[in-house]
Structure 1
Amino acid sequence: MVTNYEGCADEAERQPFVVHDIIYDAENYKAYLTADQKDWEEVAHSYTLKVGHMPLTPNHRLLMERDLVPRDTDFTMSLASSYDKNLFSATVGGWETSVDAVIRTTGKLNVDFDVDVSWFKLSSASMTIKPEDVAASVQLALTEKGTLSKAYNWEKTIISIPISGIEIAKVVKLGAFLDVDVGFTMDEWTGEAHANLGARVAISDSAIVVVDLIKSSNNKFSGWMPTFTPIPLTLSAKVEGSAEVFAAPNVKLEASALGKGWNVGLNLKMPYIEANFAAMAESTGVCNTKKTLGVDIDANIGVELYAQAATKGNEGDPFWRQSLYVSQPELTVIRRLF
């Protein structure tokens, strides 16, 4: 017997009971049941369950109005985040740096978690992830002064967001987390300047990754080639140096069924930017002009997209890891004369 009577369970939760005796009161049209309360995982011996994104048809909406289907049929993970402030300032020997950043992530992931159980045994479990309007952009304003003789590295998680999950009858759970990491490396630098650089990367809505949590050979993915939009680079003075920056939205999806748990992660290094500044000086003029100073700037934009899956508690040792897309950096050459 399954009930959602308020005296037996929460209003939104149906509670199963195993009935082992019934006494009928024919005169008063009543039946008295002797039953033991059970957990769903004790009585649901065979079932197929789909948790996730389900586009609503007109028929679904009609049933929702009659309270015949759940209203929360979708599990979507928002990737929307923003950061607009100073990343860090530092002094290393005779080199001073300050980096301001404007970082945006947009869109969402539609997530499906499918489970098939037969007589209390897990027959299949899989997760399907589809992006929708997913993009990330990073724009940096660098203020650099002095000489840096060895590489300087900085990395930090600037945004960490837990996403509300779904739990069904304490049998199936689905949750999510979003971290946005930013890294900056300056390999060398000579001079004093202000520089701005940035890029935006977008993922197609046709992208998909399917992770079979029981048999990895069934995993598949497609459509993860991104589009790049560089943000025009500016520079205020003659300098020499090399810098790299990346923004990386990292997604972790946690799922469990019948006491077994998994973690599926998306590590999206999108975008990363490499910029090399080479000073030019020529008393007779550079680039066939009368200007005697200049800078050649080679700016590369790229992405690295990975997916992985691990059993819960073994996240450091995933049983599956796959490159979804690793780009050849797109080169932009800029020449600035002074």
Structure 2
Amino acid sequence: MFFNSRSLLAAALVVVGALEASAQALEFKPILDLKDYTVGPDSMKRDSTRPPLELVPISDPGFLTHGRALRRAVTGKEAFDVRSAETFYWGAYVGDNIYIANFTLSAPDDDELIMPLERFSKQLKSLKCGTPGQPIVMEFSDQESFEYALSAWDWVNKEDVNKFTLVTEPDQCYKGDNRSPYLVKTITFDKENFTANVQAEEQEWSKVARNFRLNLGHQPVPPATANVTHPHLQRREAGKEFDIAHSFNGNLFNFDVQSPTTAGMAMNADAEITTAGRILSDFDIVMESVTDIIDKIPNPDIKLPDIKLPDLNPFDKRAAGLKREVGLPKDVKLTITPQDVTASFLLKLHADGTLGKPLDWSMSPAIDIPIYGFKVGGIIEIGPFLTMSAHYGSTALEGTGDLKMGANGTLDNSAKLSVQMTDVTKNSFENWTPKITGIEPTFSAEFTGNMKAWAELALVIKAEVMGKWGYQAGFEAQLPYFQADLVGTKEPTGVCNSTKTVGIDLKASVGIDLSLQAGSVKGAAAASQSLFTTQWPLYTTCLAIGADNAKTATDATATGTDTVEPTGTEAIPTGTDATLTGTDAEDTGPIETGMPTETGVSNLPTFRPEQQD
């Protein structure tokens, strides 16, 4: 019971990628300072306490996923050919999954090409680089290779605007160097010594990558395969990446009878909250260069935020304007999937008296759950921030005694959320209906009233792309709730089909309300989109309490204890309307049959069935 299914769903959306989200097509904006770019509760604004998982450069992802090369090796003289596009890979193990970053760099213009050293470095006799201000010196093994490279590379010397983007491998030029781009402007060829002196300057990726596609995806990999193929990709603290496992066991609040919060009722609450599993996310971002004519005097201090995207029509600018190319996101897509995600919430409440005013309590501050993020050196860093909290509320409650109520929730591994951030009409949402089973309630005395309680997981994902573009999206679980309506009964002849004379009629229901919160520059919320909303009964039962002292015709006495013994309708029925197991959501209605309706649809419409009386 009391576990808010929406919180469980929110927990499933931990890694969403580098993006902003809204209910309409997104307007991507640069951020001057990522530290100022936040959404969600204040507790989410602090820095992550765990370093990101850094993906390691790899030459062929096939070795990781299949144990053999899948990428066609370029051999012979073809290895010296320059290209208009080149793909680079990074990889890392996350539990029993392999994450692969696929970065395709494009140079669509005629005056720029790409030259990856990885393709031909093994065919060189020697390679010297890494000294600032000094050329990269390549010595070829034979005359044929040298002459082929000369014919392929001399193009850069023909025009001042021609240039290569040369990409080195880790530690190739100096120890500790990452995979890095160099801007090549001229190459001097020595025909006698078969050498090429490359005048190049190391650049940030943001300087050379105006057109690219970055895809981050995962595949399941057996542990035996992972240990053999690339053991250097294993983390020292294995198994912690994107792990949402956390537990809380402690006091929520303690109000005495004089407290203005409860106004006549002493109330003390403890909770046991646990989460487990992983949240996996794949995402894809496409960046394309856009030509802008800026109505300004050429100035090296012009910043990217000065370029107003709606003014990109060159016909609206005077002919003497400044022509400039900038990279802008064209497409951003993310896919979220849970892996063995479970959650449990058990509420323990002691109450004495009559609640004199409505109570709506929220844990503050929330509990931080540290999570590892992702990092591809110099290209992208994604940092998730997750908090867990608890909520309790009641509009009326009367009684003296103790009660325990709770529930367990599980997400199906087939659940998938796909969000097309630039066109939400292409969104899809499927198989997110959780399986919920109640924990048997216990009451020590008669209670009348109502209560609601839920665990809440709130998340914010920050992403920085090449140190230039910052995006943020968040998922929050606020409402609805697990709700219980309690009606105390007394009957000398017995209650709940038992020989006890005191009982509680208990009607319990649960609900789901999953929403997407989008951020914008300087922390202002851009938009909120409801993804899935519904409510359904969990169970209805009658709980008999106390001694077996009912008066019967035969004056029979039944044995029993002072613990709760649910009778009549089972407190935790299975395979019926009371639980969410083994029934197709599409075949049932949202309230009448006790099951929510959920389908994979575009634009993620909101389902809002009417509340039961």
TM-score range, shorter chain: 0.7 to 0.9
Query: Displacement of 1:129 after TM fit?
Result: 0.5
For residues 277 and 296 of structure 1, the distance between their equivalents in structure 2, rounded to whole angstroms, comes to: 6
Secondary structure of 2:242's counterpart equals: strand
Greater Cα offset, 293-302 or 125-134: 293-302
Identify if the C-alpha distance between structure 1 residues 275 and 196 changes in structure 2 by more than 3 Å, giving closer, same or farther.
same
Please name the residue that 2:473 is paired with: 264
Q: 1:15–1:298: structure 2 CA closer, same or farther, 3 Å change rule?
A: same
CA distance in 2, matches of 1:75, 1:110: 12
2:206 is paired with a residue whose SS is: helix
Q: For residues 121 and 287 of structure 1, what CA distance do their matches in structure 2 show?
A: 67
Q: For the Cα contact (< 8 Å) 2:240–2:372, is it kept in 1?
A: no
Distance across 1 between alignment mates of 2:354 and 2:279: 44
2:359 to 145, 152, 155: 152
Flag the structure with more relative contact order, 1 or 2, with Cα contacts below 8 A and sequence separation at least 6: 2
Compared CA separation, residues 165 and 284, structure 1 to 2 (3 A): closer
Structure in which a larger fraction of residues adopt strand: 1
The CA deviation at 1:281 is 2.6
Aligned to 1:18: 183
> Is the contact made by 1:297 and 1:334 (CA closer than 8 Å) also made in structure 2?
yes
Of the two, which has the highest radius of gyration? Answer: 2
Q: 1:9 to 1:267 in 2, by over 3 A?
A: farther
DSSP 3-state at the match of 1:150:
coil
What one-letter code is carried by the residue in structure 2 that aligns with 1:3? T
Matched letter for residue 270 of structure 2:
D
Counterpart in 2 of 1:241? 449
Give the partner amino acid of 1:105. T
What amino acid maps onto 1:135 in structure 2? Answer: T
Q: 1:217 aligns to what SS in structure 2?
A: helix
Deviates more, 1:47-56 or 1:195-204: 47-56
Does the residue aligned with 1:197 lie in a helix, a strand or coil? strand
Higher helix share: 2
Alignment of structure 1 residues 65-104 onto 2, 5 Å: 65=230, 77-91=242-256, 92=259, 93-104=263-274
Deviates further, 128-137 or 305-314? 305-314
1:278 and 2:278 are equivalent in the alignment: no
Secondary structure, in 3 states, of the residue corresponding to 2:452?
strand
TM-score under structure 2 length normalisation: 0.49
Residues 137 and 198 of structure 1 are in contact (CA less than 8 Å); yes or no, is this contact kept in structure 2?
Answer: yes
Deviation of 1:185 after TM superposition, in Å, equals: 1.0
1:172 is displaced (CA, Å) by 2.6
Residue 251 of structure 2 is aligned to residue 43 of structure 1: no
Residue of structure 2 equivalent to 1:135: 342
Q: Report SS of the residue matched to 1:41.
A: helix
What is the identity, as a one-letter code, of the residue corresponding to 1:107? Answer: G
| Partner residue, 1:326 | 534
Q: Letter of the aligned partner of 1:42 in structure 2?
A: K
Does the alignment pair 1:222 with 2:430?
Answer: yes
User: Which whole-Å CA distance do the structure 2 matches of 1:307 and 1:272 have between them?
Assistant: 18
Match of 1:294 among 481, 489, 503: 503
Deviates more, 1:28-37 or 1:222-231: 28-37
Identity score, percent: 29
How far apart are the structure 2 equivalents of 1:56 and 1:315?
41
Q: How many residues align?
A: 333
Match in the other structure for 2:389: 181
Cα distance change, pair 216–12 in 1 and its aligned pair in 2 (3 A) = farther
Who is 2:409 aligned against? 201
Determine whether 1:105 maps to 2:270: no
How far off is 1:148 after superposition? 1.4
1:316 corresponds to which of 514, 525, 530: 525
Question: Once superposed, what is the RMSD of the aligned Cα atoms?
Answer: 3.3
Whether the 8 Å contact between 1:95 and 1:148 is mirrored in structure 2 is yes
Cross-structure match for 2:463: 255
Deviation for aligned residue 1:111: 0.5
Matching of residue 33 in structure 1 with residue 198 in structure 2: yes
Three-state SS of the structure 2 residue aligned to 1:317 is strand
Q: Kindly state the Cα deviation for residue 56 of structure 1 after the two structures are TM-superposed.
A: 4.2
CA distance in 1, matches of 2:227, 2:215: 20
Equivalent of 2:514, from 288, 292, 305? 305
What secondary structure is seen at the aligned counterpart in 2 of 1:164? coil
Summarize the Cα distance change of 1:148–1:270 in structure 2 as closer, same or farther, 3 Å threshold.
closer
Change (3 A) 1:294 1:123: closer
Match for 1:112: what amino acid?
D
Which has the larger displacement, 282-291 or 216-225?
A: 282-291
Change in Cα spacing, 1:5 to 1:285, as seen in structure 2 (3 Å) is closer
Query: The residue matched to 1:163 in structure 2 has which SS?
Result: coil
Residue deviations 1:255-277, cap 9 Å, x none? 34463433333334699422222
Q: What's the counterpart of residue 167 of structure 2?
A: 2
- What is the Cα deviation at residue 238 of structure 1? 1.8
2 CA distance for matches of 1:215 and 1:103? 37
- 1:66-87 Cα offsets, whole Å, 9 max, x none, are 99xx779x99622211111112
In 2 relative to 1, CA 264–53 (structure 1 residues): closer, same or farther, beyond 3 Å?
farther
The 2-side partners of 1:24 and 1:64 are apart by 40
Counterpart CA distance in 2 for 1:41 and 1:128 is: 25
Gaps of 5+ in 2: 1-165, 290-326, 547-613
Stretch of structure 1 that moved more, 21-30 or 247-256 = 21-30
Gap regions ≥5 residues in structure 1: none
Letter in 2 for 1:212: Q
For the residue of structure 1 that corresponds to 2:207, the secondary structure is helix
Q: Note if contact 2:496-2:544 (Cα within 8 Å) is conserved in structure 1.
A: no
TM-score by length of 1: 0.85
SS at match of 2:220: coil
